[in-house]
């Protein structure tokens, strides 16, 4: 943990001193408070064991492009960050699972240094899709999951069969 306000000591001007401590790791830490004493009070020391657990990261899911078309490449992006938004979660894996008009294989992807995991999906079939993203967790970040429902525009292009040469034998 850090020292109290980075100073290592806290001047007491009230009967209820306070200090914020920041922990960079999961585990049990011992906090020690000491009073050097004065004319009215003897010196004293007190300790407290504090257990710091994993945090549940924020998980944001998006698509690129924002409005995907059927039969085109679409990136599904999971972004993981600390709950206060200040840090990215830079380790672990993310598993992408799909429910939609056609089959897309489940895929597990490593989380990158910037806190993102990207799955390039080929979404065949317009309509409603649901992607479930499951983060494995990597200390000090706990496992978490979320879903995103999005629409894929159906293919509306035309195919010109007159430009395709057809060959064959009559009667076969």
- Compute CA 5 distance to the chain's CA centroid, rounded to the nearest angstrom: 29
77-129 pLDDT, tens digit per residue, is 999 998 877 777 889 999 999 888 777 788 999 999 999 999 998 877 788 88
pLDDT recorded at residue 61: 96
Tell me which of 90-94, 152-156, 165-169 is least confident.
165-169
pLDDT recorded at residue 1: 40
Look up the pTM and report it: 0.67
Instruction: Spell out the residues 6+ positions from residue 84 whose beta carbon is closer than 8 angstroms to its own.
Output: none
Residues 43-65, mean pLDDT to the nearest whole number: 90
- Compute CA 111 distance to the chain's CA centroid, rounded to the nearest angstrom: 8
* Residue 76 predicted with pLDDT over 60: yes
Report d(CA 124, CA 121) in Å as an integer: 9
Q: Name the token pair of 34.
A: 């000491």
pLDDT recorded at residue 2: 41
* Residue 13 predicted with pLDDT over 60: no
Report d(CA 162, CA 113) in Å as an integer: 51
Q: Name the token pair of 97.
A: 């699972």
């Amino acid at each position: 943990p850090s020292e109290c306000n980075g100073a290592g000591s806290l001047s007491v001007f009230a009967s209820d001193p306070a200090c914020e401590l920041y922990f960079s790791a999961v585990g049990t830490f011992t906090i020690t408070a000491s009073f050097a004493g004065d004319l009215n009070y003897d010196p004293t020391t007190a300790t407290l064991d504090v257990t710091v657990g994993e945090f549940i990261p924020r998980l944001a899911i998006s698509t690129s492009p924002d409005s995907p078309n059927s039969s085109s490449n679409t990136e599904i992006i999971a972004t993981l960050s600390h709950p206060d938004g200040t840090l990215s979660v830079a380790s672990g894996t993310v598993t992408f699972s799909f429910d939609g008009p056609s089959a897309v294989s489940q895929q597990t992807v490593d989380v990158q240094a910037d806190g993102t995991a990207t799955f390039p999906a080929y979404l065949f079939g317009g309509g409603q899709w649901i992607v479930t993203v499951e983060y494995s967790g990597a200390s000090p970040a706990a496992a978490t999951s979320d879903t995103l429902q999005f629409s894929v525009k159906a293919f509306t292009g035309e195919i010109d069969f007159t430009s395709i040469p057809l060959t064959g034998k009559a009667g076969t």
